[in-house]
Structure 1
């Protein structure tokens, strides 16, 4: 038996050694060089296998005005990846007997529409029907101002339900703000203390906490939006997103967090199985992230000019995370390239070739476009830098020409194809095609 056990150990060791020898990240290095050279992306990426970091890269600047570069220890706002932390804390409360997933929320928030029908489970997997308060067109007018618990609950209460609880799923940051307050009531501690005591300290995370106003002096980063140059974004006051989006971290810490989650160092396997049960595309603070025939799990995030992505492939014990403070591409492209490098799959390096289109041609495309396919209007405008697009209730974004009638916003994977003669436009994104007509 000892010989068999030794043989099995040697085989596993040999397999891991072969994997270590085969993986080459030289092409991935080339990708980051191209991104940096073309001013397409700023941030950090890290990958770990079996809890050991096997690749990391940081490019761009945490503070452009003072030439402070992004480094491995630079901390970023990670947006909705915060929801994974909140979900873990909820399952900890369930395991401690402080909460039940079937508890309804009327005892916490009696004035929330349908509170007597909405369960904690519904909040976790976005089946509550509670309106997403960050989708309100007025949200950006006050998002930089501090809000109290009472003010946030009042904001959430003022909009009626968008659907009957548990009848379907629709993403809502309101759900996780309310979960933040439920956790504070259940544990009788602040959310910041809960994250620190129950997750950060046990895992010895060095750079993870509930954020506040950005402090470059403690190695935090500003975020940026690109027009003709990188311009610093305004800061959401972190009293608003809380457990829905206020965490600050690094890729290395995030990889430790998700690896520990799947190793049952935070919650039980039973709780983890519930957390990653997908209904209508949503788990409980987690999404599926497929790669070829592999099934991964994780979450992405976005706040101000920050974008992020965290994932884990359980069968391969592989964790990967992206934190960006300025992007003109989609983080998913970086993740696909990194996973392709690890699994020896082909991937293409971008060329970022664009063309210059005359103002006379650009002005033909200006106007507001509506579609019968989706209730989202898109307004196209023209300035000295080219075309700008703005969807209903969303910030504007720049378009780059890949042809005289074709423009892209690579950060969101948006492609717009114009037909000036017929006053139409086609929107292509994530494999979907939507037809628009100028009003």
Structure 2
């Protein structure tokens, strides 16, 4: 582990203010600097309007061990944002009459349960019922090792089906891994090659490609998680596994260029774009709807190992934003709300990260198991020396930060816990919802 330098400089390579949209760039800088200085995030941001980059910043490290600073040219694993690229390539195949939304999976992978009932549309919109193989108990044991297509398909077949196709929607990486394999079969090329010819070259993406082993000498970032004031390296998923579901590497500037090309008809037809945007049970075909006050955007989030990312496009305003991080100890949604509030000139107060250092004996009054009539889970509070931990039923434990008297938080998930020790009560706040818990005897 390496100490995180608190004074890591914010690197500024470009800041262009267009007449179409002026905003407080200094306040945006302050938000990003605050997140970095308080060990909440490091990474890169790009904002575009009408096809022009209007704001680009990078902060923190691309490689903390080697002290290589991040720049706007640093390349990040973008995780599930890759699904937008895969969906784009599928619709291109549809336009070439090589495929249709009604084509069934048994034409390619008949061994998958219910393959004859699962359509390309079901795969695109997460309505196949195919179990998400990355949720399996053994995934952590093999995700760093290379796998062949046949091995991954066998894992997907083994995982079975969670529900009847098109009965409902449930997110599954298996859908897009299979779509990636179908792209390869129909083009008779690797996914990496098709990505370059059908998307990257058409959209002018110089820093977007199928990832391999991380190479910091090629301006690729490593990922980390925060442990107190240190950055701890994350494991590295072998990119033979996520495929069309999450194997792409890119930069924020390339991502906003991609989504602009998608929404301006350079990659798929307007009619097919409308199909991609059509949301059913929260899912479009390769994208989500992302509301922001009275504005509506479309895009996708991504997460793989310690990388987190977000890409969104506001069609009416012609504004795009991409945020890629290789260490995040803050709620992604809260970070994006802050950036968009500043960009659109809305009231926004920069976050303050006031923390308290408590003695071990001061934490004893909070420990125990809490139950709620509002949620079907329990939360167990434990301590390790002078750090309090929370663990919900069936989930991993996470460290809490003391923010005030009887107040604790977990910024990465936007969780706030307020304790009332005399009455054995605890209040949980998350995503605008409030839940009351009572400590069990």
- Supply the distance in 2 between the matched residues of 1:375 and 1:234 (Cα, whole angstroms): 32
Which residue is equivalent to 2:225?
225
* Structure 2 residue 352 is matched with structure 1 residue 351: yes
* Structure 2 residue 259 is matched with structure 1 residue 258: yes
| SS of residue paired to 2:268 | coil
Note the C-alpha offset of 1:414: 1.9
Note the C-alpha offset of 1:238: 1.0
Which residue is equivalent to 2:74?
74
- Supply the distance in 1 between the matched residues of 2:162 and 2:422 (Cα, whole angstroms): 39
- Supply the distance in 2 between the matched residues of 1:374 and 1:268 (Cα, whole angstroms): 44
- Supply the distance in 1 between the matched residues of 2:267 and 2:151 (Cα, whole angstroms): 32
Q: 1:405 to 1:310 in 2, by over 3 A?
A: same
For the 8 Å contact 2:334–2:414, the answer to whether it is kept is no
Cα deviation, 1:301-357, whole Å, max 9, x if unaligned, reads 111111000000011111100000011112323322222222211111011012223
1:65-144 map, 5 Å: 65-144=65-144
Note the C-alpha offset of 1:39: 2.3
1:170-249 map, 5 Å: 170-228=170-228, 229-249=230-250
Which residue is equivalent to 1:7?
none
Note the C-alpha offset of 1:203: 1.8
| SS of residue paired to 1:399 | strand
| SS of residue paired to 1:83 | helix
Which residue is equivalent to 2:276?
275
- Supply the distance in 2 between the matched residues of 1:18 and 1:434 (Cα, whole angstroms): 45
Q: 1:170 to 1:375 in 2, by over 3 A?
A: farther
Cα deviation, 1:275-315, whole Å, max 9, x if unaligned, reads 00000111011011112211110111111111000000011
- TM-score normalised by structure 2 residue count: 0.90
For the 8 Å contact 1:354–1:400, the answer to whether it is kept is yes
Note the C-alpha offset of 1:240: 1.1
For the 8 Å contact 1:400–1:408, the answer to whether it is kept is yes
- Bigger shift: residues 166-175 or 256-265: 166-175
Note the C-alpha offset of 1:377: 5.5
Cα deviation, 1:112-167, whole Å, max 9, x if unaligned, reads 22212111111111111111122223322222121111221122222332222111
Which residue is equivalent to 2:9?
none
Q: 1:88 to 1:353 in 2, by over 3 A?
A: same
Gaps of 5+ in 1: 1-15
Cα deviation, 1:208-256, whole Å, max 9, x if unaligned, reads 1111111001000111101111111111111111111111100000000
| SS of residue paired to 2:85 | helix
Aligned-residue Cα RMSD (Å) equals: 2.2
For the 8 Å contact 1:76–1:220, the answer to whether it is kept is yes
Q: 1:399 to 1:167 in 2, by over 3 A?
A: same
* Structure 2 residue 163 is matched with structure 1 residue 167: no
- Bigger shift: residues 141-150 or 382-391: 382-391
Which residue is equivalent to 2:149?
149
**More helix, by proportion:** 1
| SS of residue paired to 1:99 | coil
Q: 1:206 to 1:396 in 2, by over 3 A?
A: farther
For the 8 Å contact 2:39–2:226, the answer to whether it is kept is no
For the 8 Å contact 1:357–1:404, the answer to whether it is kept is no
Which residue is equivalent to 1:13?
none
- Supply the distance in 1 between the matched residues of 2:139 and 2:388 (Cα, whole angstroms): 25
For the 8 Å contact 1:227–1:398, the answer to whether it is kept is no
Q: 1:52 to 1:222 in 2, by over 3 A?
A: same
Which residue is equivalent to 2:340?
339
Which residue is equivalent to 1:3?
none
Which residue is equivalent to 1:326?
327
Note the C-alpha offset of 1:188: 1.5
Cα deviation, 1:68-92, whole Å, max 9, x if unaligned, reads 0000100011111000001001101
Q: 1:362 to 1:136 in 2, by over 3 A?
A: farther
- Supply the distance in 2 between the matched residues of 1:98 and 1:126 (Cα, whole angstroms): 21
User: What is the count of residue pairs matched by the alignment?
Assistant: 423
Q: 1:424 to 1:167 in 2, by over 3 A?
A: farther
